Amino acid sequence: MIKYFDSYEVERLRKLITHKGAYLQSLQGDKSKASYQLTQREIMFLKNDILPIVLNNTSVIHSEFVKYAITCFDSALQHHCNGLLFYQPIDENYIDRPIIGIVNPRANQRFGTFGAMEIYIDNMDGNVASVKPFNLILS
């Protein structure tokens, strides 16, 4: 289950889009009318243009994480590290095996290429629960 941590502004914008969508459904029979087309344009504008900006600029949790990650990255640069392995707990309430997402942009490089790495996770849990690694593919 994906958890979203929306700000007040994002929640209000999502509600506005939902209400406009319900209003659009009530205009369903009059698709050629200007009010239907205008409402449809407003919904698309809010979803595609405004919502991404509001999401990007109001998510406190994301911005705090980015600040911390940058601090870690700067520290690695300062110590002349060649890479940075970063573990951030997201949800420590699990019953069976904790799932750890791995992002490794060098995973698909040919063996022997500089920087090519395979990353494995061994038991990290204090309760001796085995970890289930999950490779996240980002495009």
pLDDT tens, position by position, 4-24:
567 778 889 999 999 999 998
Averaged pLDDT, 103-112 = 80
Give residue 44's pLDDT: 94
The secondary structure element, H or E, covering residue 134 is strand 132-135
End-to-end, the C-alpha distance of the chain in Å comes to: 21
CA dist 40 and 29 (Å) reads: 14
Encoded amino acid at 84, one letter: L
Which pLDDT score, from 0 to 100, does residue 80 have?
94
**Cα distance between residue 137 and residue 135, in whole Å:** 6
Q: Torsion-angle region of residue 115: left (phi > 0), alpha (psi -120 to 50) or beta? A: left
Residue-level pLDDT at 76? 93
pTM comes to: 0.53
Q: What is the pLDDT of residue 1?
A: 42
And the tokens for 22?
A: 């319900």
**From CA 45, how far away is CA 42, in angstroms rounded?**
5
Give the separation between CA 107 and CA 121, rounded to whole angstroms.
14
Region 103-122: what's the mean pLDDT?
80
Q: Tell me: the pLDDT tens digits for 40-89?
A: 999 999 999 999 888 877 666 777 888 899 999 999 999 999 888 888 88
Contact 111, 119 (CB under 8 A): no
Is pLDDT of 123 > 80?
no
Residue 87: Cβ within 10 Å count = 7
